[in-house]
């Protein structure tokens, strides 16, 4: 690019990103968050359902799960955009956070207690913890939304790291998925020893969550 008035020039390269813009109108990042939440909920339940009821191959299962999850994400965004029903959207957001907190609870030695070897007791307790989170924060939806974005978003980074650098933290949610798919999984001993890389990734998870929550709170305050 050349400026004829100042007789100067500079390289100009157009740039584009698919990420939401913090400077754009309100709702840019909210729709992306709701799509992600809807994708998680619909994809999780569909994967369990299709795996238990059909003998289809793993690769086909993943493709169908991705398609169904995308439909679920678009549906949740459509509900928020068309009807503006904030309580339903935030309930879904809170349930995802509650699911992760409940999964973390049973990832501890508490999950190996004999009483939780019974599937009925396990799933009732697991569901109660998951539902408790949105119920507690239903009076302050903004805080619930910020916490969910920080914690779930940072854990997604942990799962991405696990694809290249093995870590036990991915089993926080994988153990729950395996228990839902395998009727004999309750007999398994799921106490996973922590290694050096686990502590490093745990620290990264914590720093990402805290920094994300702090950034959102400061941005809300202006």
User: Does 70 lie in the same domain as 130?
Assistant: no
Tell me whether residue 9 is in a domain: no
The answer to whether 149 touches 37, Cβ cutoff 8 Å, is no
User: Does 153 lie in the same domain as 128?
Assistant: yes
How far apart are alpha carbons 155 and 169 in whole angstroms? 9
Q: What is the dihedral of CA 198, 199, 205, 211, to 10 degrees?
A: -160
55: pLDDT strictly greater than 50: yes
User: Does 91 lie in the same domain as 164?
Assistant: yes
Tell me whether residue 50 is in a domain: yes
What tens digit of pLDDT does each residue of 108-149 get? 888 888 898 888 999 999 999 999 999 998 888 888 989 999
User: Does 161 lie in the same domain as 99?
Assistant: yes
Q: How many domains does the chain have?
A: 2
User: Does 45 lie in the same domain as 80?
Assistant: yes
Could you give the angle at the alpha carbon of 45 between the alpha carbons of 44 and 49, nearest 5°? 120
Q: For residue 143, give its domain range.
A: 85-185
What tens digit of pLDDT does each residue of 163-212 get? 788 788 888 998 899 889 888 877 776 677 778 888 889 999 999 999 99
User: Does 107 lie in the same domain as 69?
Assistant: no
User: Does 95 lie in the same domain as 69?
Assistant: no
User: Does 156 lie in the same domain as 111?
Assistant: yes
Tell me whether residue 17 is in a domain: no
User: Does 92 lie in the same domain as 58?
Assistant: no
17: pLDDT strictly greater than 80: no
User: Does 103 lie in the same domain as 178?
Assistant: yes
151: pLDDT strictly greater than 90: yes
Tell me whether residue 148 is in a domain: yes
Q: What is the dihedral of CA 135, 136, 138, 143, to 10 degrees?
A: -140
Tell me whether residue 201 is in a domain: no
Q: What is the pLDDT of residue 7?
A: 61
Q: State the pLDDT confidence band at 152, using cuts at 50, 70 and 90.
A: very high
E runs forming strands in the chain: 2-3, 8-9
């Amino acid at each position: 690019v050349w400026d004829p008035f100042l007789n100067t020039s500079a390289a100009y390269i157009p740039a584009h990103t698919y990420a939401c813009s913090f400077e754009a109108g309100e709702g840019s990042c909210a729709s992306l968050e709701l799509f992600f939440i809807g994708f998680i909920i619909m994809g999780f339940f569909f994967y369990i359902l299709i795996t238990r009821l059909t003998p289809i191959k793993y690769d086909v299962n993943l493709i169908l799960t991705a398609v169904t999850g995308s439909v679920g994400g678009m549906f949740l965004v459509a509900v928020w955009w068309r009807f503006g029903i904030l309580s339903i959207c935030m309930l879904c957001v809170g349930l995802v956070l509650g699911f992760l907190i409940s999964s973390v609870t049973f990832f501890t030695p508490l999950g190996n207690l004999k009483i939780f070897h019974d599937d009925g007791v396990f799933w009732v307790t697991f569901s109660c913890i998951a539902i408790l989170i949105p119920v507690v924060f239903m009076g302050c939806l903004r805080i619930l939304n910020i916490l969910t974005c920080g914690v779930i978003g940072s854990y997604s980074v942990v799962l991405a790291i696990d694809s290249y650098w093995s870590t036990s933290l991915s089993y926080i949610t994988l153990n729950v998925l395996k228990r839902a798919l395998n009727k004999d999984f309750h007999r398994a001993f799921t106490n996973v020893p922590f290694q050096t890389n686990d502590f490093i990734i745990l620290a990264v998870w914590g720093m990402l969550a805290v920094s994300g929550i702090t950034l959102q709170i400061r941005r809300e305050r202006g």
